[in-house]
């Protein structure tokens, strides 16, 4: 039997445990306070099926754990009122960088904390630490910010109000509101891409967009879904990372790892029984990195009243590694069509923007 305050979580993850007590201090976080615990931690040992052939844990595996922690704490918070019961659905994941690799046999410690609430959304910040249980060495591998909205269990198309949190400092609420407005604007800006479709091309040339583009078709089953029949956001992100990894591997034909994920936007819910198509295509290459756009389309085959729709979209960045784990040069992408050239320039702009941000300089223009 698990000790007090410790429960085992999620079918299919027998080595996962959830700590229910507040962990803001242990995780190095300082967020608002509320009557319900404002932070949790999930722990799991990494197994061979979590990693690639080189022993590095898939980025999608880490993203799935991040979302699981966020879903637990946000759903618990949204049900802390004695009102209509709800489940928190993932709406957006802000850009997250993979700061250092995690390997088979290490333990992942995923700490999640609620840092802001608006009337209809919850911001959750997550830190991921990897622990070498032989030496006790720990290192930070990921930081992520996720946004959830509470959906009524009686009517999943109804968004409920979020219980407010109490901030220890007024500045926390003001900073949170700025982040909320920024992500809201960014979500609106992505909607124009929703009609874009990845089309197959016969006999493509190496290093072109068509040569490495890939698609995965998946039938959504019960194991992919919440108890309420909708796909876990973490399941979708893991599939997106798998497709992006295939695109990157096809392009450079080496060991590849996820370096970062730009904001992931979830445009609509995916129901059990849908057939989803996850498509990936390369949009930009620098000397040592590759940007891959991933689109998720859902086809409700058992519901003739609804047409195929865009469910999620994101940009993934990968790097190529040698057998010794050193960064390798990336073959340069050859855009052919006007659309491909346009996406290349847009990707170059995102790359220069993030490069300038890391260097603490004003944003560069391509």
pLDDT, tens digit, 9 for 90 and up, residues 149-182:
999 999 888 999 999 998 888 899 999 999 999 9
Q: How confident is the model at residue 8 (pLDDT cuts 50, 70, 90)?
A: very low
> Which residues partner with 113 through β-bridges?
39, 125
Residues 50 and 161 in one domain: yes
Residue 155 and residue 41 share a domain:
yes
Average of pLDDT values for 309-335? 93
Comparing CA positions, the residue from 53, 69, 55, 51 lying closest to residue 10 is: 69
Domain shared by 165 and 241, yes or no: no
pLDDT higher than 90, residue 137 = yes
Answer yes or no: is 15 within a domain.
no
H-run or E-run covering 244: helix 233-252
Gap between the Cα atoms of 176 and 189, Å rounded: 20
Q: What does the DSSP 8-state code read for residue 89?
A: E
**11 falls within a domain:** no
Residue 25 has pLDDT above 70, yes or no: no
User: What's residue 290's pLDDT?
Assistant: 97
Q: pLDDT band for position 316 (50/70/90)?
A: very high
Question: What is the C-alpha to C-alpha distance for residues 228 and 303, in angstroms, rounded to an integer?
Answer: 17
CA proximity to 57, closest of 258, 261, 292, 289:
258
- At 44-59, the pLDDT tens digits run 999 999 998 888 999 9
Based on the structure, what is the number of domains in the chain?
2
- The answer to whether residues 213 and 327 belong to one domain is yes
Question: If you write DSSP's letter for every residue of 182-242 in order, what string do you get?
Answer: HHHHHHHHHGGGGG------SSPPTTBHHHH-EEEEEE--GGGB-TTSBB-HHHHHHHHHH
Residues 6+ apart with CB under 8 A from 74: 88, 114, 122, 124, 146, 148, 150
Q: Are residues 206 and 340 in the same domain?
A: yes
What DSSP string describes 208-223?
A: BHHHH-EEEEEE--GG
Q: What is the pLDDT of residue 259?
A: 94
Mean pLDDT (whole number) for 66-91: 93
* Same domain? 228 vs 281: yes
SS3 state at 345: helix
Q: What is the mean pLDDT of the chain?
A: 86
113 part of a folded domain = yes
The answer, yes or no, to whether residue 26 has pLDDT greater than 70, is no
Domain end: 150, 180, 210, which one?
Answer: 180
Same domain? For 171 and 286 the reply is no
Statement to judge: residues 60 and 173 lie in one domain: yes
Task: Give a yes or no: residue 6 inside a domain.
Answer: no
Residue 190 pLDDT level (bands cut at 50, 70, 90): low
Give the residue numbers marked as catalytic: 52, 241
Q: Largest Cα–Cα distance in the chain? A: 61
Q: Is residue 144 part of a domain?
A: yes
Q: Alpha-carbon distance 78 to 160, whole Å?
A: 9
Range of the domain at 227: 196-356
Domain containing 334 — which CATH number? 3.10.129.10
Q: Is 340 helix (H, G, I), strand (E, B) or coil?
A: helix
The encoded tokens of residue 188 equal: 């609106």
Among residues 154, 180, 206, which one ends one of the domains? 180
Same domain, 221 and 330: yes
Of 254, 251, 278, the closest CA to residue 334 belongs to: 251
Claim to verify: residue 264 and residue 156 sit in the same structural domain: no
Residue 347 lies in a domain: yes
pLDDT band at residue 194, thresholds of 50, 70 and 90?
low
**In this predicted structure, what is the pLDDT of residue 126?**
96
Residues 344 and 209 grouped into a single domain: yes
**Higher per-residue confidence, 10 vs 152:** 152
* Distance (Å, whole) CA 206 – CA 321: 20
Q: Return the pLDDT at 39.
A: 85
CA dist 157 and 345 (Å) reads 38
Distance CA 94, CA 261 (A): 8
> Last residue of a domain, which of 180, 215, 232?
180
The model's pTM: 0.84
Query: Among residues of the chain, what percentage have pLDDT more than 70?
Result: 86
Is 251 a domain residue? Answer: yes
178 or 191: which carries more pLDDT confidence?
A: 178
3-class secondary structure, 297: strand
Shared-domain flag, residues 102 and 244: no
- Name the pLDDT band for 16 (thresholds 50, 70, 90): low
Q: How far apart are CA 269 and CA 210, in angstroms?
A: 29
Residue 72 placed within a domain: yes
The confidence score (pLDDT) of residue 173 equals: 93
Instruction: Give the model's pLDDT for residue 13.
Output: 39
């Amino acid at each position: 039997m698990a000790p007090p305050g410790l429960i085992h979580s999620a079918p299919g993850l027998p080595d996962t445990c959830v700590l229910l007590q507040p962990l803001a201090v242990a995780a190095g976080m300082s967020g608002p306070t509320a009557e319900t615990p404002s932070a949790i931690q999930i722990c799991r040992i990494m197994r061979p099926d979590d990693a690639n052939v080189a022993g590095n844990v898939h980025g999608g595996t880490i993203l799935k754990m991040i979302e699981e922690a966020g879903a637990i704490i946000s759903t618990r918070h949204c049900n802390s009122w004695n009102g209509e019961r709800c489940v928190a659905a993932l709406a957006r994941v802000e850009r997250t960088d993979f700061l250092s690799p995690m390997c088979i046999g290490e333990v992942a410690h995923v700490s999640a904390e609620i840092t802001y609430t608006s009337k209809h959304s919850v911001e959750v910040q997550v830190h991921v630490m990897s622990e070498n249980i032989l030496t006790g060495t720990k290192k930070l591998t990921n930081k992520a910010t996720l946004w959830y909205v509470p959906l009524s269990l009686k009517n999943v198309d109804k968004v409920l109000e979020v219980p407010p949190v109490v901030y220890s400092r007024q500045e926390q609420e003001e900073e949170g509101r700025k982040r909320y407005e920024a992500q809201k604007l960014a979500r609106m800006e992505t909607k124009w891409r929703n009609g874009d479709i990845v089309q197959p091309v016969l006999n493509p040339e190496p290093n072109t967009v068509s040569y490495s583009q890939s698609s995965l078709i998946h039938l959504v089953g019960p194991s992919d879904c919440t108890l309420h029949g909708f796909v876990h956001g973490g399941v979708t992100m893991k599939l997106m990372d798998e497709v992006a990894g295939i695109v990157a591997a096809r392009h450079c034909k080496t060991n590849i790892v996820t370096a970062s994920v730009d904001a992931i936007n979830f445009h609509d819910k995916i129901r059990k029984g849908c057939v989803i198509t996850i498509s990936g295509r390369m949009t930009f290459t620098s000397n040592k990195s590759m940007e891959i756009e991933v689109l998720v389309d859902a086809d409700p085959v058992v519901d003739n009243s609804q047409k195929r729709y865009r469910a999620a979209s994101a940009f993934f960045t990968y790097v190529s590694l040698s057998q010794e784990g050193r960064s390798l040069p990336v073959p340069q992408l050859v855009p052919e069509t006007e659309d491909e050239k346009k996406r290349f320039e847009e990707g170059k702009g995102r790359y220069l923007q993030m490069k300038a941000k890391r260097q603490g300089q004003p944003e560069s223009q391509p």
